[in-house]
Amino acid sequence: MPITYTSGEQIEVYRFSIPVTVGVPLLALFLQAFVPRRLPFFSIFDLPLLVTIFFGMARRNPISGLFTGAAIGLAQDMLGAYPIGIYGIAKTVVGYFASSLGAKLDVENAGARFLVTLGFYLVHAAVYFTVARGMVNMTLHWSWGRGILAGLVNAFLGVALYFVLDKFKQRT
Amino acid sequence: MESVLGRYRNLTILVGVLFLQVLGLAVQVKRSADVENTRLIRIWAVDTITPFERVLVWVQNGGSNIWHNYFFLRGVRAENRQLKQQIEQMRLEQVRLSEDAEQAHRLQQLLAFKEQLITKTVPAQVIGSSGSDLSRSIYIDKGSNEGVAADMAVITVGGIVGKVLRVYPSTSLVLMINDQTSGVGAMLEKSRLQGVLKGTPDGAVILERVMSDEQVAAGDTVLSSGGDQIFPKGLPVGTVSKVTPGREMFLNIQVKPAADLSRLEEVLVVTEKQEHNPVVDSGVRVRAADILAQRLPSVPEKPVVPATSASGAPGNSKVGATSQSTATAAKPQTPTGSAKPDAVQTGSAPSIVKVPGAKIPGGGQAAAVPGAKPASVPTIHSVGNGQPTASQAPKQTAPKAASGDMAPSNSSPTVSGSNSANSPKPATAGAKPPVSQPNPQPPATNDDPH
């Protein structure tokens, strides 16, 4: 169990091996595309977003976080039916702020991770809706009930997922 | 300036990356939909993900097939029996519908309507989705290599699914009807009211543009109207699940899709449609009763019983004899009263018509003796036990049956009543002269019941 510090000077920064850096986002994208066809309820999860948040918080480097978010978001856009860039922009923002937050706060315990994931899910949804409605002119309707529910569900899954992904962390 | 950029380096890079993406997005939105400038990178992404999906689908189907086809066969017999019953019911229904369809074709021809038919489809398997909760699209394992093109309709047996949005060499992206950017021309089956079927953000389907003063009820069937030039007219879309007053004098009609869009596994891509004037078959017409008789289930065969009739007509008692052999065996004989015909058609061309599938209780079978033409002898379409005797027959001249001189094997079987095919009456003594055909027909051949 890595020791973490809330002090900005003593904060633990992690890195990941290349297979994990490439493989985990790809696996998340694959599962997100494949599983909902078999288990329809799975579509409420956003695994690429959870992976973006995890890598951002673990690396604690805003540049790295925003590029990770951009890459995962754009890849998710490429698989979809809408113009490329909507998820890219939303996940770039999330990756950047997750890294910035990780560099300033202790985000190693489950409670903090839960709240952070819930918050970033809503930020992600807000950016996505803004871009989709403002730029692409898509007629999206925001539902608070569904948005909060999806955020909570993703936060629960995120807490579990982060503990699994913690195993791949390597200290710098 | 340099120090400012260095101080806010992270923020500057963030703004730069966001600006690039916004710029890319703006270019995509501005350009027309026909010019797809992101095709190459989409192909990369699809080619990265879909091979794994194909492998998993293949493994899943293989395992499922082995289980269902080799191990888990419980209840197959009962299901088979049930399906057979269902087939018989559907055959009856088909007879009725074929009559209706023919009538509809005649009317369409009269009005010079064009009909659109699905002439070719490509079956495809669903291998994945877009990976987003907000986008309702699926990937199928057929692409341009198999003749799939953009804007082709995708359907299932249940109903319509969506249209092909993007095509790759071996994969295609299908936009489903419950996506919020989709639009399908639809109409209500009963009232023929037309509207536009659209998806909602939460994946539901609504029918728009139906005025609030129209009568629409839950349970009404929704069909494709053909107005979108993608889906042929008349395909099932779904059923109305809820009707509420909407905005701007329009009804808010929720539709439950006929196809289960959340559990799609196999779909059909309509790769070829044909629009033409309906053609009415002007050839030999077959009556519904004839088709019915052909398709009705037959009584199981009984063991062969040697003919004991006084007439001793050779060959007539041979069960299961082919038409040719029956015709050969049919020697000239005089019909008797013991052979009570189920139905008789008057005419100058007497013949005993063999009814396929009409098994004779006691082991006999109707003999086919066409071609014999003594005058004043009615045509016997179905003979009770298949062994007409001479004792009580009206004065008739026995027809001469030449060997092999019988109705062509492809001739429509003539049945004068459904009973004759289903349960032929046994021969009884005292048969009346065979004049029971309700609609006396002109001299008929075996081919033409009319």
User: Given a cut of 60, is residue A48 above it in pLDDT?
Assistant: yes
DSSP, collapsed to helix, strand or coil, labels residue B352 as: strand
Residues A49 and A41: their CA atoms lie apart, in Å, by 17
Residues in B closer than 8 angstroms to A121, CB to CB, are: none
Compute the average pLDDT of residues B263-284: 73
Closest CA to A119 of A158, A61, A87, A88: A158
A 152-171 residues inside an 8 A Cβ radius of B: none
Which residues are bridge partners to B254 per DSSP?
A: B206, B242
Compute the average pLDDT of residues B190-218: 85
Q: Which of A138-147, A162-171, B330-339 has the lowest mean pLDDT?
A: B330-339
Residues in A closer than 8 angstroms to B181, CB to CB, are: 81-82, 138
* Per-residue pLDDT, A160: 94
User: How much is the pTM?
Assistant: 0.59
* Per-residue pLDDT, B44: 79
The shortest CB-CB distance from B129 to any of A36, A78, A88 is to A36
What is the band of B269 on the pLDDT scale with cuts at 50, 70, 90?
very high
A 102-161 residues inside an 8 A Cβ radius of B: 128, 131-132, 135-141, 143, 146, 150
Q: What is the 3-state secondary structure (H, E, C) of B340-391?
A: CCCCEECCCCCCECCCCCCECCCCCECCCECCCCCCCCCEECCCCCCCCCCC
Residue ranges of E strands in B203-311: 205-208, 221-224, 236-245, 251-257, 266-276
Tokens linked to B40:
């190459």
Q: Which residues, 6+ apart, have CB-to-CB distance to B30 below 8 Å?
A: none
- Angle, vertex CA B417, rays to CA B356 and CA B280, nearest 5: 80
Q: Would an 8 Å CB–CB cutoff place A78 in contact with chain B?
A: yes
Instruction: Determine, for residues A33 and B128 on separate chains, whether the beta-carbon distance falls below 8 Å.
Output: yes
Residues B95 and B103: their CA atoms lie apart, in Å, by 13
What is the band of B2 on the pLDDT scale with cuts at 50, 70, 90?
low
Cα distances from A74 to residues A79, B17, B137, B439, in angstroms, run 9, 12, 17, 76
Rounded to a whole number, what is the distance in Å from the CA of B26 to chain A's nearest CA? Answer: 7
Residues in B closer than 8 angstroms to A70, CB to CB, are: 17, 21
What is the band of B334 on the pLDDT scale with cuts at 50, 70, 90?
very low
Instruction: Determine, for residues B18 and A93 on separate chains, whether the beta-carbon distance falls below 8 Å.
Output: yes
Instruction: Determine, for residues A81 and B13 on separate chains, whether the beta-carbon distance falls below 8 Å.
Output: no
Compute the average pLDDT of residues B220-225: 90
Q: Which domains does chain B have, with CATH numbers?
A: 115-276 (2.40.10.340), 285-450 (no CATH)
Instruction: Determine, for residues A37 and B201 on separate chains, whether the beta-carbon distance falls below 8 Å.
Output: no
Q: Which domains does chain A have, with CATH numbers?
A: 14-171 (1.10.1760)
Longest dimension (CA), chain B: 125
Instruction: Determine, for residues B202 and A85 on separate chains, whether the beta-carbon distance falls below 8 Å.
Output: no
Best residue in B46, B130, B166, B196 to probe A by mutation, most A CBs within 10 Å?
Answer: B130
The shortest CB-CB distance from A135 to any of B9, B29, B128 is to B29
In sign, the C-alpha dihedral spanning B207, B213, B218, B219 is negative
Closest CA to B203 of B229, B182, B218, B174: B182
The shortest CB-CB distance from B14 to any of A44, A96, A139 is to A96
Rounded to a whole number, what is the distance in Å from the CA of B182 to chain A's nearest CA? Answer: 11
Label residue B56 exposed, middle or buried (CB < 10 Å: 0-12, 13-18, 19+).
middle
Residues B183 and B199: their CA atoms lie apart, in Å, by 8
Which residue, chain included where needed, has tokens 């009559």? Answer: B99
Closest residue of chain A to B31, computed from CA coordinates: A83
For chain B, give the mean pLDDT: 68
Tokens linked to B413:
């079987």
Compute the average pLDDT of residues B70-82: 82
Q: Which of A22-26, A95-99, B208-212 has the lowest mean pLDDT?
A: B208-212
pLDDT digits (tens, 9 = 90+) for B343-399: 334 333 333 334 444 444 444 443 333 444 443 434 334 333 444 433 444 444 344
What is the band of A52 on the pLDDT scale with cuts at 50, 70, 90?
very high
* Per-residue pLDDT, B74: 77
User: Given a cut of 90, is residue B280 above it in pLDDT?
Assistant: no
Residues B440 and B234: their CA atoms lie apart, in Å, by 41
User: Given a cut of 80, is residue B224 above it in pLDDT?
Assistant: yes
Are B369 and B323 in contact by the 8 Å Cβ rule? The answer is no
HSE-CB at B392 with a 13 A cutoff on CA atoms is 13
pLDDT digits (tens, 9 = 90+) for A60-113: 889 999 999 999 999 998 888 888 899 999 999 999 999 998 888 777 888 999
Report the percentage of chain B scoring pLDDT > 90. 12
Q: What backbone torsions phi and psi does residue B201 show, to the nearest 5 degrees?
A: -60, -30
Q: Would an 8 Å CB–CB cutoff place A41 in contact with chain B?
A: no
Report the percentage of chain A scoring pLDDT > 70. 93
Q: Which of B147-156, B173-182, B356-365 has the lowest mean pLDDT?
A: B356-365
Instruction: Determine, for residues A136 and B262 on separate chains, whether the beta-carbon distance falls below 8 Å.
Output: no
Residues in A closer than 8 angstroms to B163, CB to CB, are: none
